[in-house]
Structure formats: structure tokens, C-alpha cells
């Protein structure tokens, strides 16, 4: 069983937009995005996730990274995670919400967006192993 995920990389003035979440009784930092639904393309998935979770319209650019090693889901060990990361731009004229937004499961789970200085981020700041690898790719691209 595969769990396919699409994530947005949004960088502006050496800052990167990240999602802080409390899910499955864990607080974590990750790139914004989420799971592909049946019948959906990757760009459509990412657009839907940004709209559903943050009320933001985004444009999806070129692919930055596709998982190239085995990763079992940390929340369902019978699933293999494949993540695809895209350069993403928030359409103009929209304010980025910074307050906690409740997930569908109610106040026990939430997420919020925050800007971070890219040069100050390190692997331990991220929860998921694929995000840790992507951080190095992003830093090389934007800070070199």
C-alpha cells in the first residue's frame, strides 16, 4: 500500500514557509501539503491542501524532489510513503494565516503556518525523514 503526498516549497527573502502541526498526539514541523486522493493529480492535490488547510490559492511550479528511498509511514507501518515536493507560489493579494487552525478532528489536532530563516533550520527541526533530506536540497538551492 502506498501513501502518496504532495508538498509545497515556498521561499521568499531567504525565509521558508513551514507548517507546525499537532497530529497523532505529536507536535511537529513539516512542509505544507498532504495526501493525494483517488482521481487527483499532484498539482491539484497541493492546490486542494493549501485551500482546505489554510484558505490559500497557490500556483504549483516545478518538481524539486521525489522520494528515492524506502520510508514506512510513521502513522501506519503497512504503508510506504512517497512524497513529491514542488516549488510553490502563493497567489498575490492573500494574507498568510498564522493562527492555529483546527483539523477536522477538532481542537485536539491543529496546524499553523510560520516563516523561518532558511539558514537557521537544521534536520532535527523536522519530524519526517523525507523532509530532513529535502531541507538539505532546498538550502543548497537557495543559500548557495
97-108: average pLDDT: 75
Q: What is the pLDDT of residues 121-142, one digit of tens each?
A: 999 999 999 999 999 999 999 9
Q: What is the domain-level CATH number for residue 91? A: 3.90.79.10
- pLDDT above 90 (res 39): yes
pLDDT value at residue 48: 97
For residue 18, the cross-strand partners are 114
Q: How far apart are alpha carbons 123 and 46 in whole angstroms? A: 23
- pLDDT above 90 (res 50): yes
Calculate the average pLDDT of the chain.
Answer: 93
Is 5 within 8 Å of 84 (Cβ atoms)?
Answer: yes
The conformational region for residue 19 under phi > 0 = left, psi -120 to 50 = alpha, else beta, is beta
pTM > 0.95:
no
6-12: average pLDDT: 97
C-alpha Rg value of the chain to the nearest Å: 14
Residue 107: pLDDT band by 50, 70, 90 thresholds? low
Residue 32: pLDDT band by 50, 70, 90 thresholds? very high
What range defines the domain where residue 138 resides? 2-143
Q: What is the pLDDT of residues 56-80, one digit of tens each?
A: 999 999 999 999 999 999 889 999 9
Nine-digit cell string for 122? 537544521
Q: How far apart are alpha carbons 11 and 20 in whole angstroms? A: 16
Whats the size of the chain, residue-wise? 144
Phi and psi at 9, nearest 5°, equal -105, 110
Please state the domain count of the chain.
1
Nine-digit cell string for 80? 510506504
Amino acid at each position: 500500500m502506498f501513501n502518496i503526498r504532495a508538498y509545497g516549497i515556498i521561499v521568499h527573502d531567504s525565509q521558508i514557509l513551514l507548517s507546525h502541526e499537532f497530529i497523532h498526539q505529536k507536535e511537529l514541523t513539516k512542509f505544507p501539503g498532504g495526501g493525494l486522493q483517488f482521481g487527483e493529480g499532484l498539482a491539484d492535490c497541493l492546490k486542494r491542501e493549501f485551500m482546505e488547510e489554510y484558505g490559500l490559492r497557490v500556483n504549483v511550479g516545478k518538481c524539486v524532489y521525489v522520494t528515492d528511498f524506502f520510508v514506512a509511514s510513521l502513522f501506519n507501518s503497512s504503508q510506504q510513503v512517497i512524497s513529491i515536493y514542488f516549488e510553490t507560489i502563493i497567489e498575490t493579494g492573500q494574507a498568510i494565516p498564522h493562527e492555529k487552525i483546527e483539523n477536522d478532528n477538532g481542537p485536539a489536532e491543529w496546524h499553523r503556518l510560520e516563516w523561518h530563516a532558511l539558514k537557521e533550520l537544521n534536520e532535527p527541526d523536522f519530524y519526517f525523514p523525507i523532509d530532513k533530506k529535502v531541507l538539505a536540497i532546498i538550502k543548497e538551492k537557495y543559500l548557495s
